Amino acid sequence: MAYALVTREDMKIALKPELGNLKAILGGDQKRTDKFLAVAASIADDEKLKQCEVKSLVECCVTVAKMGLDISPAFGHFYMVPFNTKDGNKWVKKAQLIVSARGYAYTLAQAGWKTKSFTVNEADDFSYIVDGFDEKLHFQRNLDDDQMIFKYAVAMAKAPTGEIFIEILNKTQIKKHRLVGSSQKANDYTKEEDRKRLADGLPIGVWRDWFSEMSEKTVIKKLTKKLPMGEQMSKMVDLDSQDFLEIKTDTPPQIQAQPQRGVDPLQSFKQEPEIIVDVDDSEAESETKLAEIQIMFNQYKKTHMPEMKQFFEAYPNWREADLRTLYEIQEGLQDVCNR
């Protein structure tokens, strides 16, 4: 299937009708709104997301604002994942928003809560004992474990009053939560390899690529439902519980018509005269580059930590570096990790 690739300009045009709404959500702060719009427009630089329907990308961005999360990818508050889904008689690629465990922890921290989440593997030393109203949790990671076979996902929250809440999900419970999501169901676009994995009860997509992160997000989300939550957390849980994609497989896919350039895909949402959004894309691109470097660091830190530490000694303030230096750092880090 051929998709029209979304550009930054497409995102800016599609975001215009939401400008007033976003500014209100962000407290009327124009500078904060401009930064949000710049980062939102840079989503079109993602090779996978630029194939998505622009309306779905805008909806994800607005939802991020409503949840009170930071849209910068450097903070890792959420993921945007592309899915093929049926819209009427047409098949389209839409973006779906997935809040991360870090996103939940951030929102709870705003209300004075402290949180911690982690996964436990078969080789780890873990126990959870309940004695009346007393609870005792012990966890020690086996740093020599090369198999890393998942066993539990654990989330803890400490209220401003000192009260502690704990939630633990085992492998079977995580699997049940995973299989509820539409991303774990086959459709006409599912690859044969993924169909076999689904038939064997194995995860695909974001659950295959980020199993630990998705498990942590699942257990901390379940924990939040037990907490005496504030309005912002309740709103986020409600929004995160919405299934934006209802994947159906009753009809073969149809070729999606190419939208006309220069036509606002959200024209029907406009109620105010057109507002020109002029934002600086360089800041958003720097944020994106920082996130890419962080992801690369996390990916190779187990195998290349000494080399990477030595490499970063030449860039002690790399997080404040300009865009050109960030490109230089990314290329140099890639060379280090390829050795």
pLDDT tens digit sequence for 132-177? 888 899 999 999 998 899 999 999 999 988 889 999 999 999 999 8
Q: Is 184 domain-assigned?
A: yes
Q: Is 107 domain-assigned?
A: no
Q: Which of 247, 264, 279 delimits the end of a domain?
A: 279
The verdict on 93 and 129 lying in the same domain is no
User: Domain containing 60: what range?
Assistant: 1-99+235-279
Give CA–CA dist 117/213, Å, rounded.
10
Number of compact structural domains in the chain: 3
The CA distances from residue 39 to 59, 154, 155, in Å, are 14, 32, 30
The verdict on 117 and 148 lying in the same domain is yes
Q: Is 105 domain-assigned?
A: no
Give CA–CA dist 282/73, Å, rounded.
15
Q: Is 323 domain-assigned?
A: yes
The verdict on 212 and 248 lying in the same domain is no
The verdict on 272 and 288 lying in the same domain is no
The verdict on 173 and 260 lying in the same domain is no
The verdict on 149 and 217 lying in the same domain is yes
Give CA–CA dist 177/98, Å, rounded.
14
The verdict on 221 and 125 lying in the same domain is yes
The answer to which of 125-129, 191-195, 242-246 has the lowest mean pLDDT is 242-246
Residue 230 CB coordination number (10 Å): 14
At residue 106, what is the residue type?
Answer: Y
More confident residue, 249 or 62: 62
Does 230 have pLDDT greater than 50? yes
Q: Is 215 domain-assigned?
A: yes
Does 244 have pLDDT greater than 50? no
The verdict on 20 and 72 lying in the same domain is yes
| Phi, psi (deg, nearest 5) at residue 229 | -85, 155
How far is C-alpha 219 from the chain's CA centre?
Answer: 16
The answer to which of 88-97, 131-140, 191-200 has the lowest mean pLDDT is 88-97
The dihedral formed by the CA atoms of 293, 294, 300 and 301, expressed in degrees to the nearest 10: 130
